[in-house]
Amino acid sequence: MKGAEAEQRAATHLEGLGRTIQARNYRIPGGEIDIVSVDGAGTLHFTEVRQRGQDRFGSALESVTPRKLALMQRAALTYLTREVGRDDVPCRLEVLTIEGPAETGKLRLVPIDF
């Protein structure tokens, strides 16, 4: 349930930035995108949500491994071809971190180059 609370807070934050949520928990075999949103300019954003209550085992951002990023990229490309019908639209991968409790922790949106 903790993950669902973090994802809901993330979705609300992204909507507050003027984005429209297109999909949540978009799954393909071996990969998932937590939130797919589109901004006012038409750019698609593929967002991984990570929340850490404590930093004893590293930060939320540090928990995103190169393997996870590769799976995100694969899922994003699949979304573009299956759901949008093309893979040449402007898009970005990003990680939204919540450090502390899901409801009140500090939010940070980190773009990922791919």
Q: What is the dihedral of CA 97, 69, 15, 80, to 10 degrees?
A: 180
**2-35+45-112: CATH number:** 3.40.1350.10
Rounded-to-integer distance, Cα 44 and Cα 33, Å: 12
Q: What is the largest CA-CA distance in the chain?
A: 43
Listing from the earlier edge strand, what are the strands of the sheet with 31-38? 20-28, 31-38, 44-52, 91-99, 106-112
Token reading at 25: 């928990």
pLDDT at residue 62, rounded to an integer: 82
Predicted TM-score of the model (pTM)? 0.92
pLDDT-based confidence at residue 87 (cuts at 50, 70, 90): confident
